Structures are given as structure tokens and as C-alpha cells.
């Protein structure tokens, strides 16, 4: 089963943080600033979706579609907390140790054994859905299928508070997938969909009809993968993915208006502020970084990233500032206005062992 929370951030706001927002069009995301804001909508309640608002849409457009919508910036920690609550519920229903968290608001669970206690898998799905709703107040949808890839697609077919069942029979699976657009597959995005479109391939059914060899000139090494997934084949075992190991920490800032390249002091100041936030987080998580990356987006939206790797790991905040500024000064185009500045640290390592040792000594 694949479980996906419905309109997640918006639902947490409506059903947990601000019950007075129930029934209203709610957008979680950046401040639209009267239509001038530059961010996007991170989640839209179903009432907001009725106005045509979608997540990922620029807030300026969302504002035009529905100026009366309630725009909230959101409270990420409360989403993390709610996530922990429903993941714990999933753990109770899944086969022993078979919960795979896919993101803050979705997970896969293996239910092959537990399902034997029910007349139909849909009964179990309904019980999970009801338990989550009663206990966390949040709506979710469930997809049931023979593997993760198909289950995820199934979940999206029937939202919100839906349950979609795809039978085990491979012929049924193929029939279920055949009419769907190629980008229904997790892993096929805009670029791949357009590439396939150039060969007049639009549906998964068309891919099912081809051989891997025929697909090769279009997709190269990705041909086998695409052919299998389009045919409903996904042999990945559903295993618990354990605690999340963070590989990088980054922060970006898009300016309300593009910044003149002459305003170097202001740009430096922004980098410093971003570095400070990152250094705080690094320290809080007892991590050390070795690679620093600076991201620059110019007014025409072209984006570059330049990085530098240190010989040894450190958590030093001043070092981070100096390196980030150094990369910026060296690599930026001093002629072009800046739309976004970002800093990322990676090659992270845990320094808790050292902390423990220091405590011990």
C-alpha cells in the first residue's frame, strides 16, 4: 500500500493548527504581497483548488485566481510532528518492520501478511484511513497494488480520502497502466515526457507495446527501467529505510526584486545571513561539512553553482562565511543582476563521536 496525505500542509493548517480555516481556500506558501510576491504555493486546500490553484504555482498567479484565499506561511515543525504521528500508525498496520517513508507526507507499507486477516485489502486500507483521520484529524488516500511503483500511481487516482485497488494479476496491472500519460510514472518528468512525445509516445500502453530494443534509440540506458515500470514491473523489495541521513543542508533566498550587481555589500550581507542560518543548523545537528557550494541565479533565470571542498571537515561558521564569499567574489558575473543567492554545505559527517569523546575527557 502507498499512503499519501491529502493537501498535506494545507490540511495540517485547517484541521490541526487553525480549525477556523476549515472550508476556506487556504494556500500554504510564500506571501503573495498583493500579487507582487515571487514565491510559489507549497500546498493548496481543496477549496483553493476549486479556484484553479495548484501547488507549485507562482503565488502571484494564485492571488489573481483567488484574492480572497488565505495565504499562510506555514509552520514546518508542526508538519514534521504530524508526520511522526501518522508514520507511527502505519507501523502498527504494516507487516513487521516494513514501512518505507518516502517523504514527509507519504509512505509505502508491506501488508501481504496482515491482509490475510481481512476479507479484502480495501478493508484494511479503510481501517488505516479511518484510524489516521480519527487520531491525527488528517485525510489521506491509499493505493493498493502488487508493487510500490503501481501503488503510488493508484493513490493519485482517487483523492482526497480515496482508496484505489489494483489486483495482483499482471494482465490487470497492464490494463490499469495502459491509458495513463507517461509522466504518471514516478521518475518521468517534463524532460523525459517531452522526449517521448517527439516520437509520438504519450501513454504507458504505447511503451508496453514496444520492445526494449525499440526504446533504446530514445531512452538509452533508461530503456529497460522505463519498459519495466510502464508494464507494471517493479521488483524493489519494500524495506524499512530507517532514520534519515542528511546529505546536505542548503538555504536559498530569492530577492523581491533583482539586485543590481553594483550592490556588492548587500549581496555579501545576504550571503552572511544565509551562512549563519546554515551554521546554526550544522551545529544543532552535530554535523561537520567539507564542501561549500554557492548558487547564483541571474535576472534571466540562468543559474550556476560553484563549489569548493576543504581538506578536512569543520563546523566553523566563520570559515563558512569566508569560503562562501570567496566563491561568490571569484565566480560571479559582476555585470549581471542577481535574482537568487544560495549556499549549501555537503560531504557531511557526524561529529557526535568527537563530542562524546570530548565530554568523556
Partner DNA sequence: TCTGGGGTCCTAGGACCC
Residues 277-336 contacting DNA, CB under 7 A: 290-291, 293, 301, 303-309, 331
Residues 212-251 contacting DNA, CB under 7 A: 221, 245-251
The nearest distance, CB 19 to DNA, in angstroms, is 23
CA dihedral (339, 341, 347, 348) positive or negative: negative
Q: Which is nearer to DNA, 152 or 321 (CB)?
A: 152
Q: Which is nearer to DNA, 112 or 352 (CB)?
A: 352
Considering the rule CB under 7 A, would residue 354 count as an interface residue with DNA? no
Considering the rule CB under 7 A, would residue 191 count as an interface residue with DNA? yes
Query: Does residue 7 contact residue 43 with C-beta atoms inside 8 Å?
Result: yes
* Window contacting DNA (CB under 7 A); options: 86-94, 108-116, 132-140, 181-189: 181-189
Burial of 2 (C-beta count, 10 Å sphere; 0-12/13-18/19+): buried
Q: Which is nearer to DNA, 153 or 173 (CB)?
A: 153
Instruction: Tell me if residue 276 is catalytic.
Output: no
Query: Does residue 53 contact residue 66 with C-beta atoms inside 8 Å?
Result: yes
Residues in the chain: 361
* Window contacting DNA (CB under 7 A); options: 39-47, 81-89, 202-210, 224-232: 39-47
Q: How far apart are CA 9 and CA 11, in angstroms?
A: 5
Considering the rule CB under 7 A, would residue 13 count as an interface residue with DNA? no
Considering the rule CB under 7 A, would residue 119 count as an interface residue with DNA? no
Q: How is residue 16 written as a grid cell? A: 490541526
Query: Does residue 22 contact residue 155 with C-beta atoms inside 8 Å?
Result: no
Q: Which is nearer to DNA, 92 or 252 (CB)?
A: 252
Residues 58-97 contacting DNA, CB under 7 A: 58, 60-61
Considering the rule CB under 7 A, would residue 105 count as an interface residue with DNA? yes
* Window contacting DNA (CB under 7 A); options: 87-95, 126-134, 229-237, 339-347: 339-347
Considering the rule CB under 7 A, would residue 347 count as an interface residue with DNA? yes
The nearest distance, CB 120 to DNA, in angstroms, is 26
- Write the CB contacts of 129 (distance below 8 Å, at least 6 apart in sequence): 140, 141, 142, 161, 163
Residue from 1, 138, 166, 185 in contact with DNA (CB under 7 A):
185
The nearest distance, CB 255 to DNA, in angstroms, is 9
Helix extents (H) in 94-222: 121-136, 148-156, 170-177, 190-197, 204-209, 212-219
With b meaning 16 or more CB within 10 Å and e meaning fewer, what string describes 244-280?
eeeeebebeeebeebbebeeeeebbebbeebbeebbe
Q: How far apart are CA 278 and CA 273, in angstroms?
A: 9
Query: Does residue 240 contact residue 99 with C-beta atoms inside 8 Å?
Result: yes
Q: How far apart are CA 346 and CA 166, in angstroms?
A: 41
Which residues are near DNA by CB under 7 A?
8, 30, 38-40, 42, 56-58, 60-61, 102-106, 152, 183, 185-193, 221, 245-254, 290-291, 293, 301, 303-309, 331, 339-340, 342, 344, 346-347
Q: Which residues are catalytic?
A: 106
Amino acid at each position: 500500500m502507498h499512503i499519501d496525505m491529502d493537501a498535506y500542509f494545507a490540511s495540517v493548517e485547517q484541521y490541526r493548527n487553525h480549525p477556523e480555516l476549515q472550508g476556506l481556500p487556504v494556500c500554504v506558501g510564500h506571501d503573495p504581497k498583493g500579487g507582487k510576491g515571487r514565491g510559489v504555493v507549497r500546498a493548496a486546500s481543496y477549496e483553493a483548488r476549486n479556484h484553479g490553484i495548484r501547488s507549485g504555482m507562482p503565488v502571484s498567479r494564485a492571488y489573481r485566481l483567488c484574492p480572497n484565499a488565505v495565504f499562510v506561511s506555514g509552520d514546518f515543525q508542526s508538519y514534521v510532528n504530524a508526520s511522526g504521528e501518522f508514520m507511527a500508525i502505519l507501523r502498527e498496520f504494516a507487516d513487521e518492520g516494513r514501512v518505507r517513508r518516502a517523504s514527509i507526507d507519504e509512505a509505502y507499507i508491506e501488508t501481504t501478511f496482515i491482509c490475510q486477516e481481512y476479507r479484502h485489502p480495501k478493508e484494511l486500507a479503510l481501517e488505516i484511513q479511518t484510524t489516521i483521520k480519527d487520531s491525527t484529524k488528517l485525510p489521506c488516500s491509499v493505493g493498493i497494488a502488487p508493487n510500490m511503483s503501481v501503488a503510488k500511481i493508484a493513490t493519485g487516482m482517487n483523492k482526497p480520502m480515496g482508496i484505489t485497488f489494483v489486483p495482483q494479476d499482471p494482465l490487470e496491472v497492464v490494463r490499469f497502466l495502459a491509458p495513463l500519460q507517461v509522466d504518471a510514472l514516478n521518475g518521468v518528468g517534463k524532460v523525459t515526457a517531452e522526449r517521448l512525445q517527439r516520437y509520438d509516445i504519450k501513454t504507458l500502453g504505447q511503451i508496453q507495446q514496444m520492445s526494449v530494443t525499440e526504446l533504446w534509440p530514445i531512452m538509452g540506458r533508461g530503456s529497460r527501467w522505463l519498459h519495466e515500470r510502464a508494464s507494471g514491473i517493479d521488483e524493489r523489495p519494500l524495506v524499512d529505510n530507517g532514520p534519515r541521513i542528511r546529505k546536505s543542508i542548503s538555504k536559498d533566498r530569492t530577492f523581491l526584486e533583482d539586485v543590481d550587481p553594483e550592490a556588492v555589500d548587500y549581496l555579501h550581507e545576504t550571503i552572511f545571513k544565509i551562512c549563519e542560518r546554515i551554521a546554526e543548523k550544522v551545529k544543532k545537528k552535530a554535523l561537520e561539512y567539507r564542501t561549500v557550494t554557492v548558487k547564483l541565479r541571474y535576472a534571466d533565470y540562468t543559474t550556476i553553482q560553484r563549489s569548493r571542498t576543504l581538506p578536512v571537515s569543520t563546523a566553523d561558521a566563520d570559515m563558512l562565511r569566508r569560503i562562501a564569499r570567496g566563491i561568490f567574489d571569484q565566480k560571479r558575473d559582476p555585470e549581471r543582476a542577481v535574482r537568487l543567492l544560495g549556499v549549501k554545505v555537503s560531504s557531511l559527517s557526524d561529529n557526535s563521536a568527537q563530542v562524546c569523546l570530548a565530554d568523556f575527557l
